[in-house]
Amino acid sequence: MTRGIAALTAYALAVLAANWLTDRYGMVPVGPGLTVTAGTYAAGLALLARDAVQDTLGRAWTRVGIALGAVATLAISPSLAIASAVAFLAAESADMAVYTRLRADGWTRAALASGTVGAIVDTAVFLRLAPFPFEWSAFFGQLIGKALWATALPVLAVLTARRLRRAVPRHPVRA
């Protein structure tokens, strides 16, 4: 249960961080000719944290995390809170469908596939509803930011940590 609460807290805070960063800094460059909302990386991490919430607390709790993040975002920007909540609900529904179906075959494949699908849906919906003009450079920039930097790299970090943890002996060697 403690892991579940930690995952839910991380999830709601990632949603809030994504919205705060976007409200504070707007669009930022991510690569040659590409831009992203400043909260893209936190939004991508939220998609990964959503998987942890599902694994520890169950699917229904992901919507609680979205609600917590949206309510907190209302204090920052009501229009951003609405765009974010709608985008996260749509993305989380797509993410959950993919993750749930693939999870039995292993975490890595499920997390990468669901994070990619969630990133596409979140980006398409959010950029249409957010309080700034839609730009294709932002659409592709956000996909790269969420799918690569905020989904693939954290998954790689988790896999590396797991491999290192397995390599360390669990019982001390006696001399």
What is the domain range of residue 69? 2-166
Span 152-170, average pLDDT: 79
Span 163-174, average pLDDT: 73
Domain count, the chain: 1
| Cα 10 off chain centre by | 10
| C-alpha to C-alpha distance for 83 and 39, rounded to whole angstroms | 13
| C-alpha to C-alpha distance for 104 and 113, rounded to whole angstroms | 13
Per-residue pLDDT, 102? 93
Residue 115 lies in a domain: yes
Q: pLDDT for 35-92, tens place per residue?
A: 888 888 787 777 778 888 988 998 888 888 878 878 888 888 888 889 888 988 898 8
pLDDT band at 137 (very low <50, low <70, confident <90, very high): confident
Output the CA torsion sign for 144, 145, 146, 150. Answer: positive
CATH of the domain at 121: 1.10.1760
| C-alpha to C-alpha distance for 174 and 78, rounded to whole angstroms | 61
